[in-house]
Amino acid sequence: MRIKEHPILEFPKKEKVKFTLDGNEMEGNLGEPIAAALVAEGIEVLSRSIKYHRPRGFFCAIGKCSSCLMKVNGIPNVRTCVTELEEGMKIETQKGKGDFN
C-alpha cells in the first residue's frame, strides 16, 4: 500500500515499471528500492533463514542487516533495500544462503 495523502510530503507520480516476484507479475516505481516496492505490493517475506527457514522481512533499510537478501536476475544475496528497481527485473525469494541455479 502507498500513502495517498500527506500534510507535508508530496509523492509525485513516478514512472511505473513491471517486475516479477517468483514468477508473479508486480508493479513498482522506477528507481525505488526493490524491497520498498515489494512492501508496497503487500509482500512481507523476502527471504528464509538458513537453518530453520524462518521468514525474513524488511528490517533496517540501510543494507546492514541481511534480512532482505534476495535473488535478483539470477544473482543471490542482493541487498534489495539498497538496490534500485528496474523494468523487467526477475526477483526471487531467497532460501538460505542462496545459489546461482
Binding string, residues 54-73; x marks residues near other proteins by CB under 8 A: xxxxxxxxxxxx--------
Binds other proteins by CB under 8 A, chosen from 17, 46, 69, 91 = 46
Answer for the pair 43, 25: CB distance below 8 angstroms, yes or no: no
Q: Is 51 in the site for other proteins (CB under 8 A)?
A: no
Nearest C-alpha neighbor of 17 from the set 94, 93, 90, 92: 90
> Rounded distance, CA 2 to CA 14, Å?
12
The residues that touch other proteins, with contacts defined as CB under 8 A, are 1-9, 11, 29, 31-33, 36, 39-40, 44-46, 49, 54-65, 81-82, 84
